Structure 1
Amino acid sequence: MTEQNIIDTVVEKLNKYPDIKFDKKNDSELEIYSRDDKGFDILLQTDQRENTLHFRTFHWHYDNTEEETNEMLNQLVFGLTGIARLKEFSKNGKAYKWTLQIQDREGTWFCVSSPKNSTV
């Protein structure tokens, strides 16, 4: 899948859900807006070398392999469906750390370790 196909594929799926607001900025950048103040904006950037998925300031870098592209798309779905959330740590009202949490089938939230190539 080329970087343009990734964005087009996601846009095609998002068009089925009119309550999800998004902006295809160009062929290599898509921003999906939070539905409410409890959520977070998602930014997907694609490139020939790698792809980047942002949940607010938390982001991952993915190689352009089929395996990593599928992993990135799964992570995107987790963010869109509310299965993933960001736990924010702050001091004196200033955020300094974010941890990604995933919800299991029983509704329990678990902190997940950052992939080896993630950056916060």
Structure 2
Amino acid sequence: MDRLDITGLPEDPLAAAAHFYSKVMPGIGAEGDLTLVFPAADHTHRAWRLAAIEGLARARVPGRINAVSGGNSATIAAALAYLAAAPGVTGQYLPLDDSGAGGVIPSSP
């Protein structure tokens, strides 16, 4: 699975989406398996990123496309390895958290 790092996106979600659709998306080929690696962003970027990946996934069949965001290099590498080994996964946007899930809180004392 190939990797494409997305850089240079504006902080504003609408401006970031416009930049992605006008500058990045035309350069994405229509063949093969690909994972986009977005920089970390808050929840206001989730909808446009997911919509872009879902649309690209429909256009790439039988190839696959997914996206991850955030995380450190080890976290990104682990996500890329997972996606490469999961041939049925496509059209997914996976925000990464390299700080761990934290402790388990029991539902009763």
Compare the two structures and name the one with the higher strand fraction: 1
- RCO higher in 1 or 2 (8 Å CA, sep ≥ 6)? 2
TM-score (norm 2): 0.30
Compare the two structures and name the one with the higher helix fraction: 2
TM-score (norm 1): 0.28
**Rg comparison, structure with higher value:** 2
